[in-house]
Amino acid sequence: MPELPEVETTVSGLNKKVQGWIFFDVWTDFKEMVKRPKNFLQFKKEIRGKKIKEVRRRAKNILFKLSDSKTLLIHQKMTGHLLVGKWQFKKGQWIPSPGPMSEKFNTFIHLLFIFKNGQMLALSDLRKFSKVELWRTKELEESEYLKKLGPEPLDKDFTFKKFREIFKKQKGKIKQVLMNQEVIAGIGNIYSDEILWEAKVNPFYQTNALADKELKRTYQAMKKILRRAIKLKGTSISDFRTISGEKGYYGKEKKVYRREGEECRRCCSKIKRVKIGGRSAHFCPICQK
């Protein structure tokens, strides 16, 4: 699933491309992807003519601020990613220009926005789990969906003091708490593993039992790892690609995620993989005792 660095990479790319573009039409072969309004024809009618004013991220959601006080929300879920370019519809499928867009993971196009300038925004999603919604901006901002999300880990005002206050109140294993979107926004399986390795904290540790020094290391590792991953345009181990169809580079320097049986890059012990709450956790049994 695209996590904070991948979504931030997408939003950054979109802001450089799509501001000022006006929606002209929408195509889909899977209407169920559009959740709001549930009638796809109504969705097409409401979004047509709207101008993109700004794109921002909240947790793992991409929010397009549109004209007429509307917001388009896209959550890429497990295997979705957005692409910007031009395609031609031939023999029942959208064919891109030669280049990165032709790569396999960029060809599962199930939703495509067409703009008045001839440009296109495509949602490629192998498993078709992505969620697309059109909201009145004020209604979305006041919705329980956004209000229940935790703080953004890279916000300047998210200090260690606030981090400690939140995490001391939590019960549960630190790996699971880091991934809880109502505790902290945007972190998933990849970066929780990477953060805990960097901090030398065992993923099984109970959050409310961690010493301040362990919490401090986790807080500092969180900031460091997320910023580094954004700089490298995210992780493309499987599906994620940038809006130009290219891979991110963080996967080349990941320390533990999907490295089961390989040597720890700190102490040379073998990386282990275990299950915590139904999700995989990768860690070094020596460094993260």
Q: How far apart are CA 14 and CA 240, in angstroms?
A: 15
Which are the catalytic amino acids? 2-3, 60, 279
* Domain 4-147, CATH number (from 3.20.190.10, 3.30.420.40, 3.40.120.10, 3.20.20.140): 3.20.190.10
Of 99, 97, 95, nearest to 109 by C-alpha is 95
**Mean of pLDDT values over 132-151:** 98
**Mean of pLDDT values over 35-62:** 98
Q: Percentage of residues in the chain with pLDDT exceeding 70? A: 100
Domain boundaries, the chain: 4-147, 160-283
| Spatial CB neighbours of 268, under 8 Å, sequence gap ≥ 6 | none
The per-residue pLDDT for range 157-216, each reduced to its tens digit, is: 999 999 999 999 999 999 999 999 999 999 999 999 999 999 999 999 999 999 999 999
Average pLDDT score over the chain: 96
- In this prediction, residue 141 carries a pLDDT of 97
pLDDT over 90 at 237, yes or no: no
Fold equal for 4-147 and 160-283: no
Q: Percentage of residues in the chain with pLDDT exceeding 90? A: 96
The per-residue pLDDT for range 73-102, each reduced to its tens digit, is: 999 999 999 999 999 999 889 999 889 999
Q: How far apart are CA 127 and CA 107, in angstroms?
A: 12
CATH number for the domain formed by residue range(s) 160-283:
1.10.8.50
User: H helices within 40-159, ranges in order?
Assistant: 40-47, 137-141, 144-147
- In this prediction, residue 98 carries a pLDDT of 87
